[in-house]
Structure 1
Amino acid sequence: MVKMQLYVWSPALGAPSIDPKCIVIESYLRVLELDYTVVHANDPQTSPTGELPLLKHGATWIAGIDRILSYLVKQQFDANATLSPAEKADYLAYNALVQEKLYDCMLFTWYADMTNFVKSIRPTYAKLLSFPSRYFVPIQLKKTAKSRLAKYDVEIISDDTTLPENEKDEMKELQRTGWHQMYRLARETYHVLNDKLGDKKYMFGDSATTLDCIVFGYLSLHYYPDLAHNRLQHILKEEYPRLARFCDRFQQTYFSDQKDVEISEPSDDIPSLWRTMINNPRGFLSSIKDDAVQYMSSSDKKKKRSEAQLDFERKRIWSIAGGVTFLLAYIIYNGIISVEVVDEDDQYYDDDDNQDDYVYELDE
């Protein structure tokens, strides 16, 4: 069997990765005991869609959590193979809950809490990222979080004046009032997952499934990071110890030292945004125009798209726009005055015969 290569954000904050989606996919590969190596890419521009994780399987590249899971199932690597139809329906419902609610709560405590952002999150990303990405990627992530949290009427402002300065008194006040709607949302989501887990080892029994990988991926970044304000960690430990034990059990079983995998170098044929931009700048800029036109299409067409599709398109456009901005700034700063441009007839990929090898379709 061909060994897979997984591109992820590095471990950080006491968790297997600083990104929950990367933890989900690596958890899935480990649960199924698949043969793979890891590349600590630490740059979403590594991916053709501007997001990690990215999986290479033979000549095929797949980007994004949902597309990777779908691809692995199609390749008959299915962690849900033993589930009944009713359990598979439950999986879909809980999966949607986790990927939305737990992720939003994580974004809130990482980016809306300015103390956490300044003291913990921004410095952590600065260590993982290379120059000059360390200076603008954390700010870009914060802006993306602000946009996603807008539906909750969340403002990205300092919160230090709204709670007691003493941590013990602060936690008492937090437990008494919930303090903020996002912590109430976290509790509600924990409660649902806690009831689902019950006294079982995993969500559907004694064996880990895809849902366990997803729950662990997102919950681990609530539980393990020791942030300046570790409120989510405190709630899990004190109010939902069963979920805390689930995280520890999953981590010990699948991410112990004996389970470490080989760290590999990036592949030479990685279809990154940078490679496309350098090899075919005119085609690259043309793809930006096509993405923008598609995203700004009529409202009727937008209604037909799923929220996942719209989210994907927004991420891609912002990622590409950020890349172009950095490239132009680099060119101006270094006095570069000419760029080799290929003919208009050249395709987005160097070899038309290999186009099917790059899989980054929109989620259905």
Structure 2
Amino acid sequence: MSTVQLYAWGPALGAPSIDPKCVIIEAYLRLLNIEYTVVQTNDPQASPTGELPLIKDGNVWVAGVDRILTHFSMRNQDANASLTPEQRAVYLAYNAMIQENLYDCMLYTWYADMTNFVKSIRPTYAKLLSFPGRYLVPVQLKNSAKARLAKYNVEITSDDTTLPQNEKEEMKELQRTGWHHMYKLARETYASLDAQLGSQKYMFGDSPTTLDCIVFGYLALHLYPDLPHGRLRHILTHEYPRLAEFCERFNAAYFSREHDVSTPAEDVPSLWKVLVNNPRGFFSNVKDDIVSYMGTDAPKEKSTAQIDFERKRIWSIAGGVTCLLAYIIWNGIISVEFDGEQGDFESWDEYDQEEVDEEL
């Protein structure tokens, strides 16, 4: 049996990965003792769907948590094989609740809390990413969080503003952006998980299942990051200590040793394949990013560091697009022909396909 390759975001903030979905899949592979190596790509565009985790299993590529779990269950490698029908129903219900509530609460603390974003989240992504992604991806993720949290009427500013100067100002700002609702949601979800766990080692008894991987994947990004405003960490540690102990127990059992790191496969899906297959969608996203970054709102007073960061980010967009266009033309993906005084791009109609779903 060939070794599986896991393409994932690298470890950060004290967790096995900065992305909870990547933690889930690595936990699942470790739980079932599936042989695998890790490719710390830190690049969602390495996936044909624009999301990580991504696995290569032999000649098969599978992206996304649910698809990967289904893939291995079809290979008769199912961590839920011992569950009763009633327990499987519980698993499905908790899985949906966790992926909705715990992820939203994490996004709120990372992106609506401007102190956490500026002092911890953005610098952490900057360390993981190369140029020009370190200036682009954090803001893309922030915009994605803004769209996802709109259902709670949570407010996330579209760009950096001057940080509050004291804790009282910060609390007023957080209350305005939906602080009470989101931490109430976190406590309600923690309470439900705590009740299911009870005095057991794992969610369904003495042996872990897929649900434990999912719970750990999301709680790890609540518990381990040492953020300036670590309220989720504080709530877990002081109000739901059994859940915190569960995380430590799972972490010790399945993440006590590092796994081998490998280089990307030669046939790994790439940004360029996404571009060739869907050029209009790709350049539409580039245009939206530039418009978002440049902004149309009235200028706000910003610190020297923030102004410097934004200047570098704008230059990164321009440089990235320029390099991209040069690469395309140089490699013959498109060609430019001049007839008299007019130049025409070859038609891209032949590449029109259904737009790839890109979610960071």
Same fold (TM over 0.5): yes
Structure 1 residue 345 displacement after superposition: 9.5
Report what 1:296 is aligned to: none
From 337, 341, 350, the equivalent of 2:333 is 341
SS at match of 1:180: helix
- d(CA) in 2 for partners of 1:338, 1:319: 18
Structure 1 residue 40 displacement after superposition: 0.3
- d(CA) in 2 for partners of 1:226, 1:19: 15
Deviations 1:305-346 (A, max 9, x none): xxxxxxxxxxxx8599769x9898545369839351379797
Structure 1 residue 2 displacement after superposition: 1.1
Report what 1:107 is aligned to: 107
Deviations 1:95-127 (A, max 9, x none): 000000000000000000000000000000000
Letter aligned with residue 341 of structure 1: I
Deviations 1:194-242 (A, max 9, x none): 0000000000000110000000000110000000000000000000000
Deviations 1:226-271 (A, max 9, x none): 00000000000000000000000000000003xx211001111001
SS at match of 2:250: helix
Structure 1 residue 275 displacement after superposition: 3.8
Identity fraction in percent:
58
Structure 1 residue 273 displacement after superposition: 2.5
From 253, 272, 278, the equivalent of 1:284 is 278
Report what 1:9 is aligned to: 9
With the length of structure 2 as denominator, give the TM-score of the two structures.
0.77
| 8 Å CA contact 1:49, 1:273 repeated in 2 | no
Report what 2:251 is aligned to: 251
Letter aligned with residue 31 of structure 2: V
SS at match of 1:232: helix
Q: 1:348 to 1:10 in 2, by over 3 A?
A: farther
Letter aligned with residue 123 of structure 2: P
- d(CA) in 2 for partners of 1:149, 1:331: 30
Residue correspondence of structure 1 range 1-364 to structure 2 within 5 A: 1-157=1-157, 164=168, 180-257=180-257, 260-277=258-275, 281=276, 283-285=277-279, 288=281, 330=320, 332=322, 336=326, 338=329, 340-341=332-333
| 8 Å CA contact 1:9, 1:53 repeated in 2 | yes
Q: 1:164 to 1:89 in 2, by over 3 A?
A: same
SS at match of 1:211: helix
Structure 2 stretches lacking a partner, 5+ long: 293-315, 335-346
SS at match of 1:338: helix
Q: 1:188 to 1:269 in 2, by over 3 A?
A: same
Q: 1:179 to 1:50 in 2, by over 3 A?
A: closer
- d(CA) in 1 for partners of 2:357, 2:120: 34
Structure 1 stretches lacking a partner, 5+ long: 293-316, 350-359
Letter aligned with residue 332 of structure 1: T
| 8 Å CA contact 1:273, 1:320 repeated in 2 | no
| 8 Å CA contact 1:7, 1:39 repeated in 2 | yes
- d(CA) in 1 for partners of 2:287, 2:352: 15
RMSD over aligned Cα, in angstroms? 3.3
